[in-house]
């Protein structure tokens, strides 16, 4: 019997994602001028207001208000009618120094013994159902909103789009867990006001089906065969969506952890990513387990892999590492035996994760919308400025945890 599976995504203009992007912009600026910065920064956005709070230990001083305004402007909140606008919104900073009680457990004289910034468990997942080893429903959900944002910025084929949007894709799977077709697509997009609501709804649905969907099929030809005439489209199903963004809903850092990871596939330990420097294993170990899972699947060890790691706060060595292959392993070993071999290949102590994935660099702003996983590794040059005129230009690698740089080592270890 076939079954349905659904994942959702949210746009960069969604209130929670605005908060994530501001928090990660702060992380990048701190790390650019002081790579040893310890930061846990939360953001709240609401009508005309941004509130920054958190703990920081850093040698640098930043204009956090200007950083937040730059992020809001880049997203597209630049009009007063949005009731949340980059130049006019109020920004309150309640950032203070990190607790010494926490810091003493993380910073060690021997850097290799750097302790985990918190307790908890983290998960990484990979599947071979897509080229980037991500769950297909989530990949499509992200693609819809990335392309919708492109249309908004082009302001040519569709001229009424505003920054806030959500998407959802439902796939039909066969008994052997292979995606067969798209069953339903849900898109809710914020828009300019129209004179007549019925005409507005008809126009938006027509444009998204006739303009957005063909662009997705052209840009992602590997998914074109999944589109069909029987797809159920729910476009702005509540009707009018003029009031949106932080004026429509309060946004908070860390409320889109499933959007950020695997869309409900695999598992999640509960810890958010944005606003946290890499000493926080909620972030760094989640990236490291994705790196492991992706390399295991790419090496042909299994069709689907879930990796779990757990830590005690202030302790370097993980309390557990576990690999689950869902019965798809190709190597004649139990999941427990696979776990032991994986533990010998990948050093999961926090310091070694940071070094292996180059996480002490300003690489986090790019992660804060459209998912932290499944992205394309690339090298970019970025420039940062402090209020006192200091400028720093750095060249960094983005999404290092997506690199397939351990495939050969995995194949050798498992005799593949």
The secondary structure of residue 363, as a DSSP letter, is -
Q: Give the up-direction half-sphere exposure of residue 384: CA atoms within 13 A in the CB hemisphere.
A: 25
CB–CB of 250/44 below 8 Å? yes
55 marked ligand binding residue: yes
162 marked ligand binding residue: no
290 marked ligand binding residue: no
79 marked ligand binding residue: no
- Of the candidates 15, 154, 21, 166, the one whose C-alpha atom is nearest the C-alpha of residue 84 is 15
**Which residues, 6+ apart, have CB-to-CB distance to 268 below 8 Å?**
123, 257, 258, 261, 262
**What's the rounded Cα separation, in Å, for the pair 248 and 65?**
22
- Of the candidates 179, 354, 163, 339, the one whose C-alpha atom is nearest the C-alpha of residue 247 is 163
255 marked ligand binding residue: yes
User: Residues for the chain: how many in total?
Assistant: 416
16 marked ligand binding residue: yes
Crossing angle between the packed helical segments 64-75 and 15-33, to the nearest 10 degrees: 130
E strand or H helix that includes residue 5: strand 3-10
166 marked ligand binding residue: yes
Question: What phi, psi does 383 have (nearest 5°)?
Answer: -120, 135
Pairing outcome for strands 304-311 and 320-324? antiparallel
The most distant pair of C-alpha atoms in the chain lies apart, rounded to whole Å, by 67
- Of the candidates 92, 93, 103, the one whose C-alpha atom is nearest the C-alpha of residue 61 is 93
Show the tokens assigned to 363: 């690489």
298 marked ligand binding residue: no
CB–CB of 297/416 below 8 Å? no
288 marked ligand binding residue: no
**What's the rounded Cα separation, in Å, for the pair 266 and 260?**
13
**How far, in Å, are 140, 173, 372, 376 from residue 6 at the CA level?**
11, 11, 19, 23
49 marked ligand binding residue: no
User: What SS3 class is residue 49?
Assistant: strand
**What's the rounded Cα separation, in Å, for the pair 194 and 68?**
31
164 marked ligand binding residue: yes
240 marked ligand binding residue: yes
Question: What phi, psi does 197 have (nearest 5°)?
Answer: -65, -40
**How far, in Å, are 13, 221, 323, 360 from residue 276 at the CA level?**
21, 36, 26, 11
The secondary structure of residue 388, as a DSSP letter, is T
Residue whose structure tokens are 């009424």: 160
Show the tokens assigned to 371: 């998912």
Can you say which residues are annotated as belonging to the binding site for ATP? 14, 164-166, 240-241, 249, 255-256, 272, 276
Can you say which residues are annotated as belonging to the binding site? 14, 16, 42, 55, 98, 164-166, 240-241, 249, 255-256, 272, 276, 280
Can you say which residues are annotated as belonging to the binding site for L-methionine? 55, 98, 249, 280
Can you say which residues are annotated as belonging to the binding site for Mg(2+)? 16
Can you say which residues are annotated as belonging to the binding site for K(+)? 42
């Amino acid at each position: 019997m076939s079954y349905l599976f659904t994942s959702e995504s949210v746009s960069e203009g969604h209130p929670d994602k605005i908060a994530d992007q501001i928090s990660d912009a702060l992380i990048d600026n701190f790390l650019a001028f002081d790579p040893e910065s310890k930061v846990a920064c939360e953001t709240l956005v609401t009508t005309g207001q941004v509130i920054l709070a958190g703990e920081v230990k850093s040698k640098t001083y930043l204009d956090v208000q200007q950083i937040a305004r730059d992020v809001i402007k880049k997203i597209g909140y630049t009009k007063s009618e949005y009731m949340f606008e980059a130049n006019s919104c109020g920004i309150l900073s309640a950032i203070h120094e990190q607790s010494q009680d926490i810091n003493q457990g993380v910073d060690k004289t021997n850097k290799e013994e750097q302790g985990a910034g918190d307790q908890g468990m983290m998960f990484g997942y990979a599947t071979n159902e897509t080229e980037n080893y991500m769950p297909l429903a989530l990949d499509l959900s992200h693609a819809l909103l990335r392309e919708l944002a492109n249309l908004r910025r082009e302001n040519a084929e569709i001229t009424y789009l505003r920054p806030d949007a959500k998407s959802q894709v439902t796939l039909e799977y066969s008994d052997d867990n292979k995606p067969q077709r798209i069953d339903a697509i849900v898109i809710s997009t914020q828009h300019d006001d129209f004179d007549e609501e019925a005409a507005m709804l008809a126009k938006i649905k027509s444009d998204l089906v006739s303009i957005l969907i063909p662009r997705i099929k052209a840009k992602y030809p590997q998914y074109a065969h999944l589109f069909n005439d029987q797809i159920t489209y729910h476009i702005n199903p509540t009707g009018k969506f003029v009031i949106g963004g932080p004026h429509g809903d309060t946004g908070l850092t860390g409320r889109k952890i499933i959007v950020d990871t695997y869309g409900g596939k695999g598992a999640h330990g509960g810890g958010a990513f944005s606003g946290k420097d890499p000493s926080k294993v909620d972030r760094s170990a989640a990236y490291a387990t994705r790196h492991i899972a992706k390399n295991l699947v790419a090496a042909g060890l299994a069709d689907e892999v879930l990796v779990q790691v757990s830590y005690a706060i202030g302790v370097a060595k993980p309390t557990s590492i576990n690999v689950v292959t869902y019965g798809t392993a190709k190597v004649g070993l139990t999941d427990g035996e696979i776990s032991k071999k994986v533990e010998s290949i990948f050093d999961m102590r926090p310091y070694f994760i940071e070094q292996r994935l180059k996480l002490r660099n300003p690489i986090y702003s790019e992660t804060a919308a459209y998912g932290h996983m499944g992205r394309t590794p690339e090298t970019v040059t970025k420039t940062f400025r402090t209020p006192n005129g200091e400028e720093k230009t750095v060249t960094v690698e983005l999404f290092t945890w997506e690199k397939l740089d351990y495939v050969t080592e995995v194949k050798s270890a498992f005799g593949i």
